Amino acid sequence: MIDFCGIRLEHEVINGSGTFDAIAAQRAFGDELLERFPFSAFVSKTVTLEPRQGNPPPRLWELGAGMINSIGLPNKGLRGYLAEDLPKLSELPVPLIVNVMGSTRDEVAALVRAFGERDEVAALELNLSCPNVKTGLDFGVDPIATAGLVEHVRPLADKPLIVKLTPNAGDPAAVAAAAEGAGADAMSLINTLRGMALHPHTREPWLGGGTGGVSGPAIRPIALAQVAQVASRVRVPIVGMGGVQRGADALDLLDAGATLVAVGTESFREPLCASRIVRELTQLLGEPRLEAPSTVR
């Protein structure tokens, strides 16, 4: 059992927001999915106050070592989510973490207040890091804007507040420290890195949104470095993610200072990969660790 902000979890592996559609997966895999749910907590896709269509297609570009997405946050909005998705997601056999995003403080406040009242919700994740939506206010790249937002919404819900950091900030550890100082209970990182692909014939940007977010094994070393850097600056627990494909990748993030590890892009190739990753990680955690050689003076 792992204690994460007072929530008891069976193991260290959860999903990255927006990378596993539990409702669609239940249609595909049936009740077996619920009997052997791969994650120890479920993180929802980002919810905004009003419904959004998302970005024009194409929305994906496959890379040799991952992909670029430009999904642009399509979702039913708060009312649609509460009416249609929350009742289904509350049947999952694990705690539910709802990821929210707004383009103003008041929008984020309304979302935090609404989900803060729901018993089905174990924790909230503030998405300060979507690379594909121009909000006008880029809270997540600026420590002062981040602190202002977290201070504003922290008193509105009596649930753990996780801040999802962007790797596209100049100094993600400074943003993390500001969020912690303002009352955040945990950090999650990394979201995707801004990237681009060109249409093979027209030479125009391939993605409908122009640019997108790079994820998958290509970003794994960046995630590891940023998790280590953030872990050296904050005391709150960290959810580490970025290119996790195997138990060994998860162990790297834990050793860099994460308490939990999230799996994202790999779930598109192998939807139930998290069960395999948990098995691999459990075995690795049970093995004796080699001592680092003592320095010869």
Applying CB under 6 A, the site for ligand RRO has a residue count of: 15
Distance, in Å, from the CA atom of 79 to the CA atom of 82, rounded to the nearest integer, reads 5
Contact indicator for 153, 188 with CB cutoff of 8 Å: no
Contact indicator for 162, 188 with CB cutoff of 8 Å: yes
Min dist. Cβ of residue 112 to ligand RRO (A):
17
Q: CA 50 → CA 102, 111, 208, distances in Å?
A: 9, 10, 21
Catalytic residue among 130, 161, 184, 260: 130
44 makes contact with ligand RRO (CB under 6 A): no
**With respect to ligand RRO, which residue has the nearer C-beta, 132 or 226?**
132
Min dist. Cβ of residue 22 to ligand RRO (A):
17
Distance, in Å, from the CA atom of 178 to the CA atom of 184, rounded to the nearest integer, reads 9
Interface residue with ligand RRO among 46, 48, 146, 265 (CB under 6 A) is 46
**With respect to ligand RRO, which residue has the nearer C-beta, 40 or 129?**
129
**With respect to ligand RRO, which residue has the nearer C-beta, 223 or 251?**
223
What values do phi and psi take at 47, rounded to 5? -110, 135
Angle at 173 between CA 244 and CA 184, to 5 degrees: 90
Q: In the range 189-248, which residues lie near ligand RRO by CB under 6 A?
A: 191-192, 213
Beta carbons within 10 angstroms of residue 242's beta carbon: 32
Distance, in Å, from the CA atom of 224 to the CA atom of 201, rounded to the nearest integer, reads 36
Chain Cα centroid distance, residue 225: 17
5 is catalytic: no
* Total residues belonging to the chain: 297
Interface residue with ligand RRO among 73, 176, 190, 230 (CB under 6 A) is 73
Q: In the range 118-157, which residues lie near ligand RRO by CB under 6 A?
A: 127, 129-132
**With respect to ligand RRO, which residue has the nearer C-beta, 40 or 70?**
70
Active site residues: 130
- Residues near ligand RRO (CB under 6 A) are 18, 46, 69-73, 127, 129-132, 191-192, 213
